[in-house]
Structure 1
Amino acid sequence: MKNGLNLPLLVQEAVATPISAFAWADVLVSALAVILLIVVEGRRSGVRGSWAAILGTLCVGPSFGLPLFLYLRERQRQPRQARRWEH
């Protein structure tokens, strides 16, 4: 809050120690893997709204984007009649 959105400072602090650099690298690799899965599986399965899962991955993280994509994919797989009765 004190420095606002200072991206150079964020990167500097993120790689300040080897363990923090490893943690951020892990999140980045996970995010790339999730985005790749969303793009490939989304096209293959024709999942509508997969752009929202990519946006969620970029804004919040893989722990938001992956479950959102899996929900969208499962929702599309269910027959329309079954969806109506589950509420």
Structure 2
Amino acid sequence: MSDILRIPKIKFNERDFKENYGVYFPNLSVIKINPSECISDNKFNKMLENKDFSFFKNNYVTIRQLLQAFGTNITRSIFGDKL
């Protein structure tokens, strides 16, 4: 994620960054946002369960949500559950 978004890896350890910055994938912009501007965690989790990644096209996603989706769902679908 660091390389894709051009963000130093150390930033991913900062709680404020993970909770208060969002990514808009159509143009890969990373900006400080109000978390209410992002998809809710409940909706986010339901869409992930259904493997519906369409929210990436239309919504800001918090850095935390992005890391969760990548680390848990996307990586697991590629490498399996036994990592």
* TM-score in terms of structure 2 length: 0.28
Structure with greater helix share of residues: 1
Which of structures 1 and 2 has the bigger CA Rg?
Answer: 1
Structure with greater strand share of residues: 2
Which has the bigger relative contact order, CA under 8 A and spacing at least 6?
A: 2
* TM-score in terms of structure 1 length: 0.27
